[in-house]
Copies of this chain bind each other. A is one copy, B any other.
Amino acid sequence: MHYDQIISDTVKSNNSKIVMLVMDGVGDIRSPKFHNKTPLEYANTPNLDRLASESSLGRCIPILPGITPGSGPGHLGLFGYDPLQVTIGRGVLEAVGIGFDLKNGDVAARCNFATMNEQGRITDRRAGRISTEITESLCKKLKSIHEIDGVEIIIEPGKGHRFVTVFRSKDKEIGALINDTDPLEEGKSPITAKGENPPSEFLAGVINKFVQLGYDLLKDEHPANAFLLRGIASKPKIPTMRDKYLLESAAIAAYPMYRGIASLLGMTLLPAADSIEGLFKTYLEYRHKYDFFFIHVKGTDQAGEDGDFDAKVSCIEKVDRALPILLEHTPDVLAITGDHSSPCAMRSHSWHPVPILIHGPFTGADDVAFFHENACNQGSLGFFESKYLMGLLLSNAKRLDKYGA
């Protein structure tokens, strides 16, 4: 019997509302560069602290000790998809992130417009970071390529110099075990696509023809006279949140990647404002329509990756000030955590356990009246892998029966 099987055997439905507020990269470490306090410690957070005093606290280990997750595995863990078992290719994330409705069997690639010299070498892997508008007009040109060897080619522009290509085949199986064409270093030629098995070999052939045709269409453009494919991946076959948990789920997230992950898990994508107040107001507006809400705050991670301690503190304080909106109709179970830590002193994602707070009628209360890393070390949730969080939320919402007699 596996954990997933226990959940699936014991899960039941009721009218409870669960909210998971993910402050991306919120976890941090004390550093002498930044007052020897973490942003959560340094920030003025009366609302979070009061909530902490009525909640159970702990630390989430995103993957396993010492493993730094990307945003994909970080979020998969939070939603109870074992990030060691379930993987989502980057191309797929990008495609669903711009709202593309991937079908089973589709293969998606993240693409960058790039600059190539007369020797066929890439001189700028991002084509001088051309604007979204230019990318849109170049994509229109590429869209004249509809089909190669019976495989439909679908081009969708993204932000800046980025676009997505989706390969869709009706008759013939296509595979995604294909290398990036991006040489990663400037001064090198794009890499020829190669497949690792017959369906991937077939698609690699299609991709190489697509590259040739596309470069021909762009040859008089400047600076974007080429493009590179990365993260070629098939849409994964994963159960939705409804399948796994009997939850009607919705995502309130402004950024493409998180909307993409949510949509792959079957969440409805709700309108997401840029402001934190706006995110919380969306919850209030839709709270009767769904069982589970994923609310994503991006600013904490951005600040961490920029090494901008003050910006991280400020984002945390904004969340704290907006919290009363969310608590106007307190969800039955509320979790506040992050998908990983992004310490300012590291300017990157990290492996450090993330503070977690669960508030609900059966969480009890710990001897802790602050929401920050060291306070959470003392909590009654202990240290646990993120993949167990959904089980805890379902239990707290009385949505799990007991296991065994």
Interface residues of A (CB under 8 A from B): 1-3, 6, 10, 28-31, 36, 38, 59, 61, 63-73, 83-85, 87, 90, 93, 231, 343, 345-346, 348-353, 361-367, 373-374, 377-384, 388-395, 400-405
Task: Give the chain B neighbours of A231 by CB distance below 8 A.
Answer: 405
Question: Which 3 interchain pairs have the tightest Cβ spacing?
Answer: A66-B391, A29-B364, A382-B383
Q: Given A73-B403, A403-B67, are A343 and B366 also a contact pair (CB < 8 Å)?
A: no
A-B contacts, 13 of them at CB < 8 A, read A1-B84, A1-B87, A2-B84, A29-B363, A64-B388, A66-B388, A66-B390, A67-B400, A231-B405, A348-B402, A351-B392, A374-B380, A377-B382
Task: Give the chain B neighbours of A63 by CB distance below 8 A.
Answer: 6, 403
> How far apart sit A383 and B393, CA to CA, in the bound complex (Å)?
18
Of B367, B374, B388, B400, which one neighbours A374 at CB under 8 angstroms? Answer: B367
- Please determine whether B367 and A346 come into contact, CB atoms closer than 8 angstroms: no
CB distance from A94 to the nearest CB of B (A): 9
Task: Give the chain B neighbours of A389 by CB distance below 8 A.
Answer: 65
- Please determine whether A66 and B394 come into contact, CB atoms closer than 8 angstroms: yes
CB distance from A364 to the nearest CB of B (A): 3
Task: Give the chain B neighbours of A350 by CB distance below 8 A.
Answer: 362, 395
CB distance from A98 to the nearest CB of B (A): 15
Of B363, B377, B391, which one neighbours A64 at CB under 8 angstroms? Answer: B391
Q: Given A383-B383, A388-B66, A391-B67, are A6 and B403 also a contact pair (CB < 8 Å)?
A: no
Task: Give the chain B neighbours of A30 by CB distance below 8 A.
Answer: 364-365
> How far apart sit A307 and B346, CA to CA, in the bound complex (Å)?
45
> How far apart sit A367 and B376, CA to CA, in the bound complex (Å)?
12
Q: Given A84-B1, A379-B377, A380-B377, are A70 and B405 also a contact pair (CB < 8 Å)?
A: yes
- Please determine whether A70 and B377 come into contact, CB atoms closer than 8 angstroms: no
Q: Given A67-B6, A67-B391, are A87 and B404 also a contact pair (CB < 8 Å)?
A: yes
